[in-house]
Amino acid sequence: MTQGSLHQIGTRVQYHGMMAKIITSTDNDVIFQFEDSSLELEIVKRKKLERELGNVLHFVHPETILSNLPKDLSIEAKALILRREQYVKELTRLAGIHKIGGIKVRTQAIENVARNQSDLQPPSPSTLARWAKDAILHSLGVARSILANNRKQKSTRYDHLKEIALACFDEYYLVASKPYFQTVFDIFVDRVKEQFGGNTSYPCYATFVGWIKDICPIAASLKQDGKKVTNSMMRNAIDKLIVDHPLERIECDGISLAIGLVDDEGNFLGTAKIFFVIDCYTRCILGYQLHIGSGEPSSCIIDAFRHALCPKPAGTYNENCKSDWPMYGVFESIAVDGGPGYVSLATNGFLLRAGMKASIVETYAGWKKPFIERFNYTVRSNFASLLPGYCGHDSFRQQDVPLKKQATLTPAVFKNLLELWIVDEYHQTRHSGLKNKTPYDMWKTSFPDPSRGPMLPANYDLIKLPCGEVKWPKISGPDCHQGIVINNVRYNDGDCKLKMIGLKLISRGEEPIVRCDYSITDISQVTITDPFNDEQYVIPATDPSITPQMSLAEFNAKHVKRYENKGYGHKRVVAESQELKDAKDANKLHIKQIPRTKQRKANPSDIAEAVEKQQAKTQAAQAEAPKDHSVSEDSNPFGDIDLDNLEGHKHD
């Protein structure tokens, strides 16, 4: 690996946290020109700089020109890619940036390009939509289906039973008697039925055997054939992975621990999963990242790589550590498995930005990453076994007390204990594979000269930005003054950069939507990309309860969603009170006494009944009245009402 030098003009460095370049170098002095134009040139004594190397002065890896497409691409492939780009470019012009458009828009784009390029076999609207999605989401763009091999997704139906299968394999197969696979499979089926019920489905015999064959043969040989045969096997396997110096090859992998974590208020967060980055030459741990829950989020893997690439000065890890943590630097090669978090666009884009590229090894082939697999075993046996609430390697094993009830450690305490174990115990323990030296001694011996120490990545200022997960939120508010919301967390800045981006998009007739990169391990800030100049800004969270390094799991535990635990809330005292019942009765009585003012259609039967009652009253009045004041028989007591023409009633 090319190292930096204080003698070489143009060398990029980081000095006291600021990026600079050496423009003049003499035997006594070195002149720095900072990338921040507001800072003046600085002249520093060479002897002082040599003492500060590795502390406040770091060499930066030279920038490299990277391309997503291979250099040896055939002419036919280039022509196919160019043809697809023409159609996607026309669709972008008609539909807009990062938009696919409807069938009419895609059809118009196809007609325009086919007419201009004389294409006799233009693509269909659905095919053009697929090309447009590749151009937006994939690192290879429209060339994805031409260059990238489609990975087949493994079935995940029985993934939750794999731990039980491995436990049965460890207990009943890895013994000197070497039983048959069928015996171990029968034990596995009985254990599944006992734990999940007799009607539970389980994988077939062939799938079970496939799981077993994917396990590292070194572990099986150690228990079945003894140490002598195993040592011979390890020599044959390790001969293919010879490394000569630090950072030549690093390996990264995640390990799930059956231990629950809680927040400061005692709310259960989930189980712990740790992503480690190990240097194969010195066996040093370059970095790690704690993830709460299952899966392999890209942001967690990126944070582990970032932790490995950047210096770790005192105060950034457990303050009780007696030793330092000087391990960092740019890697020459990276070995990871084919998990979704490692092969994702975000992870590979981060590595390319830092000037590196990962090599993918076969999934479930632990012997192809022997150093990190062996370290994971050390973590389980020497660290996790000491923690309270750890339920062992088999997380599905029946416990007297459930794992969730045993959880007492907070993420902060867990990380402090892990850092103390790495820095003061693991790095200081003699290793047989290092000729009885410690990893710390191997690292210090490899870098006796500070001027030839590890280097920072080329884009050091960019790789520190939050990334890993991507969303396209809308800037809310009529004047774009309310910021954006991601995972129920609102983000906004005091410099109005986000607001100005939204207003400019609205002025152009576009939706105020921006690209947002964030990490689930630290939701205190996100990265916004300006769509007009591709500059990136860090936008903080507006909620004061969100502290730096707070994970999404910790936030969700404190802010339970509205309908997540829907059920009985609390006793309703007012509803059962006598005062409320009396008030309801009084209200009903009052409503009955209110006269109805709403008009309704006349009912002939009601009118006829009223007329009969009135006639009866009139006849009674005539019988009691004096002769001279009597009412004549021909007179009508109802005035102008025509009694004979009333509907539904005939006057007698």
Instruction: Report pLDDT digits (tens) over 411-440.
Output: 999 999 999 999 999 999 998 778 889 999
pLDDT beyond 90 at 289: yes
Mean pLDDT for 4-16 is 77
Q: Report the pLDDT value the prediction gives residue 139, as an integer from 0 to 100.
A: 62
Token duo for residue 428: 């200081």
Q: Report the pLDDT value the prediction gives residue 650, as an integer from 0 to 100.
A: 47
Mean pLDDT for 354-368 is 73
Q: Does domain 247-455 have CATH number 3.30.420.10?
A: yes
* Beta pairing, strands 334-336 & 42-45: unpaired
Q: Report the pLDDT value the prediction gives residue 63, as an integer from 0 to 100.
A: 56
Q: Report the pLDDT value the prediction gives residue 586, as an integer from 0 to 100.
A: 87
Length of the chain: 652
Q: Which residue has the higher pLDDT, 144 or 370?
A: 370
CA–CA distance, 70 with 75 (Å, rounded to integer): 12
pLDDT beyond 60 at 219: no
Supply the pTM of this predicted model: 0.57
pLDDT beyond 70 at 563: no
| 14: β partners | 19, 58
Q: What is the pLDDT confidence band of residue 293, given thresholds at 50, 70 and 90?
A: confident
Q: What is the pLDDT of residues 42-59, one digit of tens each?
A: 888 888 888 888 777 888
Q: Which residue has the higher pLDDT, 172 or 621?
A: 621
**% of the chain residues with pLDDT over 90:** 19
Q: Which residue has the higher pLDDT, 385 or 97?
A: 385
Q: What is the pLDDT confidence band of residue 217, given thresholds at 50, 70 and 90?
A: low
pLDDT beyond 90 at 363: no
Q: Report the pLDDT value the prediction gives residue 565, as an integer from 0 to 100.
A: 55
Q: Report the pLDDT value the prediction gives residue 645, as an integer from 0 to 100.
A: 53
Mean pLDDT score across all residues of the chain: 80
CA–CA distance, 100 with 98 (Å, rounded to integer): 7
Which 8-state DSSP code applies to residue 409?
B
Q: Report the pLDDT value the prediction gives residue 576, as an integer from 0 to 100.
A: 78
Q: Report the pLDDT value the prediction gives residue 58, as an integer from 0 to 100.
A: 82
* Beta pairing, strands 334-336 & 250-262: parallel
Q: Which residue has the higher pLDDT, 139 or 395?
A: 139
Phi/psi-derived region of residue 151, left when phi > 0, alpha when psi is between -120 and 50, beta in every other case: beta
Q: Report the pLDDT value the prediction gives residue 287, as an integer from 0 to 100.
A: 94
Q: Which residue has the higher pLDDT, 32 or 290?
A: 290
**% of the chain residues with pLDDT over 70:** 79
pLDDT beyond 70 at 226: no
Q: Report the pLDDT value the prediction gives residue 235, as an integer from 0 to 100.
A: 42
pLDDT beyond 50 at 600: yes
Contacts of 64 (CB under 8 A, 6+ apart): 355, 458
The stretches of 118-176 forming alpha helices (DSSP H) are: 125-137, 144-147, 162-168
Least confident segment among 301-305, 460-464, 477-481, 487-491 = 460-464
Question: Collapsing DSSP states into helix, strand and coil, what is residue 334?
Answer: strand
Q: What is the pLDDT confidence band of residue 342, given thresholds at 50, 70 and 90?
A: confident
pLDDT beyond 80 at 163: no
Angle, helices 205-213/181-196, rounded to nearest 10 degrees: 110
